[in-house]
């Protein structure tokens, strides 16, 4: 009997706050039938890539739990303002007006 294994590589809009990242990863880790294989936070891009593998149903559930927890903890309105501010600063640095 063959066993199906799938991999998912979601990312979240947080790469600096390790406590928040750990909480999001913990939500995915609680799902039986799959494992979090890697967590790669990127401070420069403020993104974290998470690798999850296991049986298809469990990986889907782990991704759902990860998304649910990230939605509870990450304020995207604050994130968008920071991104817009950063883009504006970069545009001004290179002598271009932001779009």
What CATH number does residue 12 fall under? 3.30.990.10
Q: Has residue 74 been placed in a domain?
A: yes
Q: Has residue 77 been placed in a domain?
A: yes
Cα–Cα distance for residue pair 74/14, rounded to 1 Å: 8
Q: Has residue 1 been placed in a domain?
A: no
Domain total in the chain? 1
Cα–Cα distance for residue pair 99/96, rounded to 1 Å: 9
Question: What pTM, to 2 d.p., does this model score?
Answer: 0.76
pLDDT in tens, 6-48: 999 999 989 999 999 999 999 999 999 999 999 999 988 889 9
Residue 93 predicted with pLDDT over 50:
no
Q: Has residue 36 been placed in a domain?
A: yes
Cα–Cα distance for residue pair 61/80, rounded to 1 Å: 27
- Across the range 65-70, mean pLDDT stands at 93
Q: Which domain holds residue 22?
A: 6-93
Q: Has residue 98 been placed in a domain?
A: no
Cα–Cα distance for residue pair 81/78, rounded to 1 Å: 5
pLDDT score for 55: 96
């Amino acid at each position: 009997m063959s066993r199906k294994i799938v991999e998912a590589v979601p990312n979240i809009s947080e790469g600096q706050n390790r406590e928040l990242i750990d909480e999001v990863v913990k939500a995915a880790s609680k799902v039986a039938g799959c494992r979090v294989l890697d967590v790669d936070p990127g401070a420069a891009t403020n993104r974290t890539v998470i690798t999850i593998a296991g049986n298809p149903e469990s990986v889907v559930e782990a991704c759902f739990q990860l998304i649910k927890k990230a939605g509870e903890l990450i304020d995207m309105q604050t994130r968008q303002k920071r991104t817009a501010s950063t883009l504006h600063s970069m545009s001004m640095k290179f002598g271009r007006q932001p779009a």
